Amino acid sequence: MLPSHYTTHLAGYYDVFSRDRILVLITEEFLADLRTVFEHLGVADKGFLPPGFDQARNAARSYRFLWLENLLVRSYRLLNRRGYTRLVKLILDSQVGELLRRLNQGRTPLPTLDPESERLLEDYFAPHNATLAQLLDRVSPLWVRQARGP
């Protein structure tokens, strides 16, 4: 069962819960309009936004020294697993890790997906997206292959 095969995961939930209890959104839909989630949950204040909601998180970057980024991530994970969650929070709040990331940021632009790989991925996911659209009884423009020129 692959993480990107959503119908496999959702089918189990639909076996247990009624459809009106489950809200399925694509990340772009969620970020564009949080009110949909609030309406589904019955939140009274539909205009509410959590603090920091509009701040970008985990933006893609290129690194000059990938080993340094890996060391940061592994250190956070190790400390968390060992129960030092307060220390991790203190480090994160201090922005030391972010400073290291900025200093380690590469100057080369991030690679783009070549057209052949893009088509390969679209072809692979097309039947899965069609099954998902059928399960949810809706189609998102993000799932449908864009019409391409020659």
Read off the pLDDT of residues 4-43 as tens digits, 9 standing for 90 and up: 888 888 988 999 999 899 999 888 888 777 888 888 888 8
Angstrom distance (rounded) from CA 64 to CA 87 = 27
Angstrom distance (rounded) from CA 6 to CA 143 = 12
Mean pLDDT of 54-59: 76
Q: 3-state class of 99 per DSSP?
A: helix
Query: What are the phi and psi torsion angles at 69 (to 5°)?
Result: -65, -45
pLDDT at 61 over 50: yes
The answer to whether residues 47 and 79 belong to one domain is no
The answer to whether residues 44 and 74 belong to one domain is no
**Chain centre to alpha carbon of residue 96:** 24
pLDDT band with cut points at 50, 70 and 90 for residue 143: low
4 located within any domain: yes
pTM, two decimal places:
0.60
The count of structural domains within the chain is 2
Model pLDDT, residue 120? 92
pLDDT band with cut points at 50, 70 and 90 for residue 84: very high
Q: 3-state class of 85 per DSSP?
A: helix
137 located within any domain: no
The answer to whether residues 16 and 46 belong to one domain is yes
Domain with 105, as residue range(s), is 61-114
* Domain end (from 34, 55, 76): 55
pLDDT at 57 over 80: no
Model pLDDT, residue 147? 41
97 located within any domain: yes
Of 51-60, 94-103, 123-132, the one with minimum mean pLDDT is 51-60
Residues in Cβ contact with 128 at an 8 Å cutoff, skipping those fewer than 6 apart: 4, 5, 6, 7
pLDDT at 44 over 60: yes
76: its two tokens? 């956070």
The answer to whether residues 51 and 65 belong to one domain is no
Angstrom distance (rounded) from CA 58 to CA 97 = 13
pLDDT at 144 over 70: no
pLDDT band with cut points at 50, 70 and 90 for residue 150: very low
132 located within any domain: no
